[in-house]
């Protein structure tokens, strides 16, 4: 449990007691480091952060960072994270997981969470492979990619999660690379500050089972869209970047200021659910009697 303190927030406050058990060189180390740095630089106390994950190598992250955390079920981090945010919306809630977790079994929750626009952040560590189960194709594995589950080549087209997020109405859409921490930390800070559902697809190379989408591959094939005067208020411009096939853009693709889900439930969510008194007040009892009797 994170310590409650009045001292200035530092990265050390976010260092967990358990050392990560990821493979040496895994991109998830970079994601963890950037997330810790982003939260510390924003001055958010560790006891005001809740991190919820699904299942997979990346979903072990809550155990390696000194915040409140919950390691849930495969593909189910988002409904649980949303429920937590509604129960205690004073907290900064971050959901995390991998591409198999979020874009496979969890893709239905992903789409509806974007429509709903609850104020939280979702980090997907995308390595284009199922790492925990030792190397099967994931929803973002490339066409014809040979893996344990596709020894003759992957017959399915890879999912384009950025285009999906834009089409589903996500109010903050971004992509980063764990090997570019300078850019990624600014993306994470902007995502946490965003009022609404903020989504960041983060390339996090698997050094053990994916020999195609390596750290060097992303260094050679990514570019920062901020350097090309990208208009992040234009969904058309964002889709154009998302659909590029000759290169891969990183940065904040799209930001839209729109009403959060919580604003439509003001009467119930005027204060966090955890602070509500159990039972019905006399005024509410009379209102219900007048309405239904």
**Could you read off the pLDDT of 184-195 as tens digits, one per residue?**
999 999 999 999
E strand or H helix at 177: strand 172-177
If you average pLDDT over residues 211-217, what whole number do you get? 97
Paired tokens of 207: 């050094």
Residue 3 has pLDDT above 70, yes or no: no
Cα–Cα separations (whole angstroms), residue 141 to 73, 105, 145, 147: 22, 15, 7, 9
Domain contains 1: no
- Give 11-53 pLDDT, tens digit per residue: 999 999 999 999 999 999 999 999 999 999 999 999 999 999 9
pLDDT range class, residue 283, cuts 50, 70, 90: confident
3-state secondary structure of 274: helix
Residue with more model confidence, 290 or 190: 190
The two tokens of residue 90 are 């004073």
Residue 1 pLDDT class (50, 70, 90 cuts) = low
Average pLDDT over residues 216-229: 97
Per-residue model confidence (pLDDT) at position 277:
77
> Is residue 197 assigned to a domain?
yes
Bridge partners of 252, per DSSP, are 174
Three-state secondary structure string covering 7-49: CCCCHHHHECCCCCCCCCCCCHHHHHHHHHHHHHHCCCCHHHE
Q: How far apart are the first and last CA of the chain?
A: 48
Q: How many domains does the chain have?
A: 1
**Strand 248-255 and strand 172-177: pairing?**
antiparallel
- Identify which of 85, 43, 49 has the alpha carbon closest to the alpha carbon of residue 65: 49
Q: Is pLDDT above 90 for 268?
A: no
By C-alpha distance, which of 195, 177, 189 is closest to 250? 177
Beta bridge partners of 202: 125, 176
Residue 167's region, left for phi above 0, alpha for psi from -120 to 50, else beta, is alpha
The pLDDT of residue 5 is 62
CB 216 within 8 A of CB 177: no
pLDDT at residue number 280: 80
Residue at token pair 């869209």? 225
For 67-108, what is each residue's pLDDT tens digit? Answer: 999 999 999 999 999 999 999 988 999 999 999 999 999 999
Query: Average pLDDT in the 203-225 region?
Result: 98
The pLDDT of residue 270 is above 80? no
Provide the pLDDT for residue 15.
96
Asked if residues 11 and 39 have their Cβ atoms less than 8 Å apart, the reply is no
Q: What is the pLDDT of residue 273?
A: 75
Higher pLDDT, 283 or 189: 189
The answer to whether residue 2 sits within a structural domain is no
- Residue 4 is assigned to a structural domain of this protein: no
Residue 108 lies in a domain: yes
Residue range of the domain that includes 73? 11-292
Question: Cα–Cα distance between 224 and 84 in angstroms, integer?
Answer: 34
Predicted local confidence at residue 276, as pLDDT: 77
Whether 241 is covered by a domain: the verdict is yes
* pLDDT tens digits, 119-172: 999 999 999 999 999 999 999 999 999 999 999 999 999 999 999 999 999 999
Which pLDDT score, from 0 to 100, does residue 85 have?
A: 94
CATH of residue 188's domain is: 3.40.50.970
Domain assignment present for residue 67? The answer is yes
In this structure, is residue 240 part of a structural domain?
yes
């Amino acid at each position: 449990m994170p310590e409650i303190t009045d001292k200035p927030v530092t990265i050390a406050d976010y260092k967990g007691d358990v050392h990560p058990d990821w493979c040496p060189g895994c991109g998830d180390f970079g994601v963890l480091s950037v997330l810790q740095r982003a939260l510390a630089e924003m001055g958010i106390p560790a006891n005001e952060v809740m991190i919820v994950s699904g299942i997979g190598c990346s979903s072990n992250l809550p155990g390696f960072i000194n915040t409140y955390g919950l390691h849930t079920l495969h593909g189910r981090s988002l409904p649980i994270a949303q429920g937590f945010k509604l129960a205690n919306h004073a907290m900064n809630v971050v959901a995390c997981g991998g591409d198999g977790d979020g874009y496979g079994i969890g893709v239905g929750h992903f789409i509806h969470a974007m429509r709903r626009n609850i104020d939280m952040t979702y980090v997907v560590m995308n390595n284009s492979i199922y790492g925990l189960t030792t190397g099967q194709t994931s929803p973002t594995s490339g066409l014809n990619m040979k893996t344990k589950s596709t020894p003759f080549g992957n017959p399915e087209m890879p999912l384009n999660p950025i285009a999906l997020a834009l089409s589903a109405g996500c109010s903050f859409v971004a992509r980063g690379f764990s090997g570019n921490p300078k850019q990624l930390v600014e993306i994470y800070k902007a995502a946490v500050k965003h009022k609404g559902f903020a989504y960041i697809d983060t390339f996090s190379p698997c050094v053990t089972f994916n020999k195609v989408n390596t750290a060097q591959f992303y260094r050679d094939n990514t570019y920062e869209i901020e350097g090309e005067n990208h208009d992040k208020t234009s969904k058309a411009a964002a889709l154009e970047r998302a659909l590029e096939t000759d290169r891969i853009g990183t940065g904040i693709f799209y930001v839209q200021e729109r009403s959060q889900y919580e604003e439509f439930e003001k009467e119930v969510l005027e204060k966090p659910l955890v602070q509500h008194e159990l039972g019905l007040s006399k005024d509410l009892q009379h209102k219900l009697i007048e309405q239904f009797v």
